[in-house]
Structure 1
Amino acid sequence: MMEDIDPPRRHGQLREEAADWFAIMRNPEEAEPRRKEFEAWLARGALHRAAYNRIAEAYSIGKRLKDPPEEDTVTSYGESRDDIRQSEPRPKAKKRVVFLLALLGTVALVAHWASGSPREEPKHPSLAMGSAPGTSDRSVLKLATAIGEIRSFRLDDGSVVALDTNSLVLVDFDDMRRTLRLLRGRARFTVAHEDRPFAVHAGRGRVIARGTIFDVNLLPDNHVVVRLIRGAVDVATEIPEPGPAQPALRLSPGQQVELLNEPVLLVHDIVEAKPDDRAWPEGLKEYANARLGDVFADANRYADIPLVGETADIDDIRVSGVFRITDSARLARNVGDLRGLAVISRPKSISLARRCPVPQQGNCRPPS
């Protein structure tokens, strides 16, 4: 018996379909009316069933904040996008199912991504990488992404830096140390094991890691949030001299700390990180009873055309599920189907409304 006889899909397309179905089936209001459609999608073949199972397994792992193996994370954020630069080829990652790799790895992800399966091209080109001003006999590498782009870069030591939209990192390696500075945005660092210390500076914060995975987010107010995914890091606030040295904080996996932009010694609270934003390098975010206005705000960080509510009451509608926030048009369609809303596409906005306007304005997709 033959299965999966439909025309071949992009790997990314099947992953997206599986992620969408997973989000739909987790919502009680949406699951039952669309169950037959979902079962028909599953019945199309083994790849579809495997894709959905990978998403479900990844979600379960992520909820428990398990530590993903470093090698798999590297493959997910780099080799599969063909975005990694400046290093010699590395061996294929071990084929293990992990949260960060598997959340979008829906078509036997580990095997496909480890072999470099195709993925969507970013909608904006990366900013150029090169030497930063003020360098001497060695160059400082600049890693940057444009608005709407998420991209990963492999460094000379084998470490990988994944950058969120509109982010900038300077990289300065020498024989004694590995020093990076986050100047804008958010980055995930997957650190290669070696003797040289690996330090990330952002705002007044300093993070020291040796073989680990962690996020650093530089907020608009110059506050810094450090989130540990795997391993251990020491986090400290850099106090201008002659102030007292800031004792370092040791984070455990699943913990995060916020460093304030204050030139004084502060006591920082280590808290458990929510799992909703762990898959940001893949453009996914989980919401639980979230306002649509907040979902729109997250999506608009990546959008050329903003996603808005046609009327003020739309922003207060609540949604739950895992959504791809890097594709506003797709997000609008999914939310429209989920909540029975019309989607109005105009040249300068994508709006959600209770119904299509009369007279017709733009291209309106009526409520389902």
Structure 2
Amino acid sequence: MMEDTDPPRRHGQLREEAADWFAIMRNPEEAETRRKEFEAWLARGALHRAAYNRIAEAYSIGKRLKDPPEDDALPSDAAPGDDIRQSLSRSKTKKRAVLILAMLGAVALVAQWAAGSPSDDIKHPSLAIGSAPGASDRPAQLKIATAIGEIRSFRLNDGSVIALDTNSLVLVDFDAERRSLHLLRGRARFTVAHERRPFAVHAGRGTVTARGTIFDVNLLPDNHIVVRLVRGAVDVTTDTPTTERAPATVRLSPGQQVELRDAPTPLALEVVKAQANDSDWPDGLKEYRNVRLGDLFAEANRYADIPLVGTTPDIDDVRVSGHFRITDSARLARNLGDVLGLAVISGPNSIALARRCPAHPKGNCRPPS
């Protein structure tokens, strides 16, 4: 199924539609009568579903700031006549409008996610998931995340910037004495603002501590993490019990990386030279040298709604070198087709590379150049 093929909307229109639907679905009576219409709206594409999810998440944060006003109470001796019913109808409409405005305000507050800006300022890191207001003087944690196929940068209120790779999640926990972050999923680049509070990133069984520096942390399957230093200096500490031969902490210099594996026994932290071909990942670019197309497809498909595939095994085994933007599958397929002299078949469920266009392609076929 092809998704999100509607004409481009004006700025903020999709967000307003999502907010309107969220308000409707919170009303049991309207939700029951308009559920099919709502499901059809969601089915129009991933952008619609993402906008609705962001509205729902933003509202769960924003409602802590100020609850929508309750309906005016009926006098105890009032009968539900026409005037009362009209008053209730007006009150209900007013409450729904307030609800929508509250949600839109919450979205603007939470990193402008629904507006779709590529770089977002996080002004209030205490306004996020955590304990209810008043439960503690300690600020709650801020959750920042990216969807599948998305790379986005977030500016924190201390001036630091976090670039998140596709499908990544970081919890930010700042207080007067420290800046603590937890990478729970995916990959992040941290550009740290210099100040007196230490800046520590926890992931897997390790902790990275830095002051005024740039570094990447990649959380791989099985709690395996890779830390790479771009600029400055960081200390990488493992939480695994250590010995003299397997020290708990190592210091990285620019261009170095270290891996921490989730192992029950001590492992030596081996510092090695970082691979230079992945240094531009926040821009969606990567340099490949003699890579298999099958491996390139697998990496690009981490960002794709419609996957790249080879029509035959020999296509997957073709090797290629160059700089490619892997976050745009259609563009990547065209570039690979031009470089390798392959046909590009664009269908509803995949973008395939082939030696030639088939007699009856399942989709549009761009012949080899």
TM range (shorter): 0.5 to 0.7
Given that residues 345 and 361 in structure 2 are in contact (C-alpha distance below 8 angstroms), is that contact kept between their aligned partners in structure 1?
A: no
Q: Secondary structure at the match of 2:162?
A: strand
Q: How many residue pairs end up in the alignment?
A: 249
2:332 partner SS? helix
Distance (Å, rounded) in 1 between the aligned partners of 2:344 and 2:321: 19
Conserved in 2, the CA contact under 8 Å of 1:188 and 1:215? yes
For residue 185 of structure 1, report the CA deviation from its aligned partner: 0.2
Shift of the 231–264 alpha-carbon distance from structure 1 to 2, 3 Å rule, reads: same
**Bigger CA drift: 256-265 or 339-348?**
256-265
Letter of the 2:332 counterpart: L
Deviation at 1:262, TM superposition (A): 1.3
Are the structure 2 counterparts of residues 192 and 358 from structure 1 closer, same or farther at C-alpha, using a change threshold of 3 Å? same
Counterpart-to-counterpart distance in 1, 2:332 and 2:207: 36
How does 1:119-268 map onto structure 2 within 5 Å?
A: 130-132=128-130, 136-137=136-137, 138-239=139-240, 247-268=248-269
Using the TM superposition, give the Cα deviation of residue 245 of structure 1 relative to its aligned residue in structure 2, in angstroms: 9.9
The Cα offsets for residues 268-316 of structure 1, whole Å up to 9 and x where unpaired, read as 2111011111000000010011100111011000000000001110001
- Cα distance in 2 for partners of 1:223, 1:132 equals 27
Distance in structure 2 (CA, Å) of the matches to 1:304 and 1:133: 35
Pick from 60, 72, 83: which aligns with 2:119?
A: 83
Residue in 2 aligned with 1:322?
A: 323
SS in 1 for 2:257: strand
Shift of 1:84: 1.8
Kept in 2: contact 1:143–1:169 (CA 8 A):
yes
CA displacement at 1:183 relative to structure 2: 0.2
| Structure 1: runs of 5 or more not aligned | 1-79, 89-128
Using a 3 Å threshold, how does the CA distance of structure 1 residues 258 and 245 change in structure 2: closer, same or farther? closer
Q: Secondary structure at the match of 1:265?
A: coil
Paired amino acid for 2:234: V
Aligned to 2:363: 362
Equivalent position amino acid for 2:232 in 1: G
The CA distance in 2 between the partners of 1:264 and 1:360, in whole Å, is: 54
Aligned-residue offset at 1:132: 3.7
What does the per-residue CA deviation read over 1:45-82, in whole Å, with 9 as the maximum and x for residues that have no partner?
xxxxxxxxxxxxxxxxxxxxxxxxxxxxxxxxxxx955
In terms of Rg, which structure is larger? 2
Separation (CA, whole Å) in 1 of partners of 2:218 and 2:265: 21
Q: 1:8 maps to what in 2?
A: none
Deviation at 1:142, TM superposition (A): 0.3
Q: Give the alignment's TM-score, normalised by structure 1.
A: 0.64
Which residue does 2:306 correspond to in 1?
305
SS in 1 for 2:337: helix
* Rounded Cα–Cα distance in structure 2 between residues aligned with 1:325 and 1:189: 21
Instruction: Work out whether residues 238 and 245 of structure 1, in 8 Å CA contact, stay in contact via their aligned partners in 2.
Output: no
Aligned to 2:338: 337
Paired with 1:139 and 1:365, the residues of 2 have a C-alpha distance of 52
RMSD: 2.4
Cα pair distance change 1:272/1:197, threshold 3 Å: same
- What SS does the corresponding residue of 1:234 show, helix, strand or coil? strand
Distance 2:302 2:359 in 1: 31
Residue correspondence of structure 1 range 14-25 to structure 2 within 5 A: none
Q: Report the Cα distance in structure 2 between the residues aligned to 1:190 and 1:314, rounded to whole angstroms.
A: 39
- Among all aligned residue pairs of Structure 1 and Structure 2, give the percentage whose two residues are the same amino acid: 70
Structure 2 unaligned blocks of 5 or more: 1-115
Whether the aligned pair in 1 keeps the contact of 2:246 and 2:269 (CA below 8 Å) is no
Structure of higher RCO (CA pairs closer than 8 Å, 6+ residues apart) = 1
Query: When the two structures are superposed, what TM-score results if normalisation uses the length of structure 2?
Result: 0.64
CA positional deviation for 1:240: 6.5
Letter in 1 for 2:122: Q
* 3-state SS in 1 of match to 2:296: helix
Letter in 1 for 2:142: L
Secondary structure of the 1:264 match is coil
Instruction: Tell me if the contact between 1:238 and 1:246 (Cα under 8 Å) persists in the aligned partners.
Output: no
Deviation at 1:362, TM superposition (A): 1.1
Secondary structure of 2:188's counterpart equals strand
Please give the per-residue CA displacement for 1:212-259, whole angstroms capped at 9, x wherever unaligned.
000000001210000000000000111379xx9953100000000000
Alpha-carbon separation, structure 2, partners of 1:285 and 1:136: 45
Report the CA distance between 1:358 and its aligned residue: 1.3
Q: How far is the alpha carbon of 1:360 from its aligned partner?
A: 3.1
SS in structure 2 at match of 1:84? strand
Partners in 2 of 1:331 and 1:366 — Cα distance? 15
